[in-house]
A and B are shown apart, each in its own frame.
Chain A
Amino acid sequence: QQQVKQSPQSLIVQKGGISIINCAYENTAFDYFPWYQQFPGKGPALLIAIRPDVSEKKEGRFTISFNKSAKQFSLHIMDSQPGDSATYFCAASMSNQGGKLIFGQGTELSVKP
């Protein structure tokens, strides 16, 4: 029930294309869903986050779509660039559990020029 399942494991997209990464969760008590971007040798960097009372959130080329009834959320990267090549992690947490983030397994994105 504490798991967050992420797919695909790896993704290859052409420059200018749309990258889509999906996550699913079971625990309906989760109320905060962030996405992190991690480059090799670096710590994860917070990209964008959403709460379940919102169905979509957009920041620049990054959009989170949230489907509360399906218990799924996804990250869309529009106009993907080679500089977006990194590992992306979705996560979930509950407000009453403070800073405990449950992470998906990660998606390695490669954007080809």
Chain B
Amino acid sequence: KAGVTQTPRYLIKTRGQQVTLSCSPISGHRSVSWYQQTPGQGLQFLFEYFSETQRNKGNFPGRFSGRQFSNSRSEMNVSTLELGDSALYLCASKAGAGNEQFFGPGTRLTVL
């Protein structure tokens, strides 16, 4: 089985812009979670989608949003980018009832 894929792998944006990141989960996995990884804050949970519905949300401002499509692929959007949004954004997928989450390689976002 192919693993979790994320596109693009690298992205450079300027403050005030918006960005959309994409994640394709492992085939058959219906849950997709997003995490932000920074040197200062570590790995922080953003939100989880299951069957096109947001099932869980972390403590991030409303500028961070997501969605999931009927094929389980997910997108994450960040609007009005700030310098502090520079991070590695990771997507993880899991089968519906299981606990094991498998991460993609991440999208490195740099905000200038």
B66 is an interface residue with CB less than 8 A from chain A? no
CB < 8 Å neighbour of A98 from B55, B58, B100: B55
Max chain B Cβ within 10 angstroms of own Cβ: one of A49, A98, A102, A105 = A98
CB < 8 Å neighbour of B45 from A41, A44, A100, A105: A100
Interface residues in A, total, Cβ within 8 A: 24
Instruction: Tell me the dominant secondary structure on chain A's binding face.
Output: mixed
| B65 CB → nearest A CB, Å | 17
Chain A stretch 62-113: residues in CB contact (< 8 A) with chain B: 89, 91, 93, 95, 97-106
Which B residues touch A42, using CB under 8 A?
105-106
Interface residues in B, total, Cβ within 8 A: 25
Do residues A43 and B100 form an inter-chain contact, with CB atoms below 8 A? no
Do residues A100 and B99 form an inter-chain contact, with CB atoms below 8 A? no
Do residues A49 and B42 form an inter-chain contact, with CB atoms below 8 A? no
Do residues B43 and A100 form an inter-chain contact, with CB atoms below 8 A? no
CB < 8 Å neighbour of A46 from B35, B48, B100: B100
A52 is an interface residue with CB less than 8 A from chain B? no
Which A residue's beta carbon lies closest to that of B91? A43
A45 is an interface residue with CB less than 8 A from chain B? yes
| A89 CB → nearest B CB, Å | 6
The CA of A102 and the CA of B94, in the complex, are separated in Å by 16
**Subset of 6 A-B contacts with CB under 8 Å:** A42-B105, A42-B106, A95-B99, A100-B56, A100-B58, A101-B43
Where the two chains meet, the residues of B that have a C-beta atom closer than 8 Å to any C-beta of A are 4, 31-33, 35, 42-45, 48, 50, 55-56, 58, 90, 92, 94, 99-106
Where the two chains meet, the residues of A that have a C-beta atom closer than 8 Å to any C-beta of B are 32, 34, 36, 41-46, 49, 89, 91, 93, 95, 97-106
